[in-house]
Amino acid sequence: MKNETKTKTARVSARISPSVYNTLIEASEIAGSTLNQFLVQAALEKAQAIIEQDNKIRLRQQSAEHLFELIENPPKVNPKLAQTMKQYKQDLKC
């Protein structure tokens, strides 16, 4: 984990305009939480969504790279599978 601290909590601060502050206060009251709880939860949800999206992109890229590798360097033919496919095709003709 990046930026680990030895304390149990860490402080985050931000300077915001009064209108943003009022909006956040209103939303936190509607949600039934303190402003701090609201901010932490909202930031955490956004952070998790960003990380999840990044992981999906990485997996898609890895899958594509794997597919291209298989196309360029196909695996050796499995003799048992080849025989089974041949038998299957013969059985279909009957």
Is residue 13 situated within a structural domain? no
CA atoms within 13 A on the CB side of 50: 6
Tokens 């999840």 correspond to 52
> Residues 6-64: pLDDT tens digits?
778 899 999 999 999 999 999 999 999 999 999 999 999 999 999 999 999 999 999 99
pTM of structure: 0.61
Tokens 């009064």 correspond to 18
Is residue 2 situated within a structural domain? no
Number of domains the chain contains: 1
Is residue 11 situated within a structural domain? no
Q: Any residues with CB less than 8 A from the CB of 31 and at least 6 apart, and which?
A: 38
Q: How far apart are CA 29 and CA 77, in angstroms?
A: 65
Cα radius of gyration (the chain): 28
Is residue 7 situated within a structural domain? no
Longest Cα separation, the chain: 81
> Residues 53-70: pLDDT tens digits?
999 999 999 999 999 999
Please give the structure tokens belonging to residue 61: 């890229």
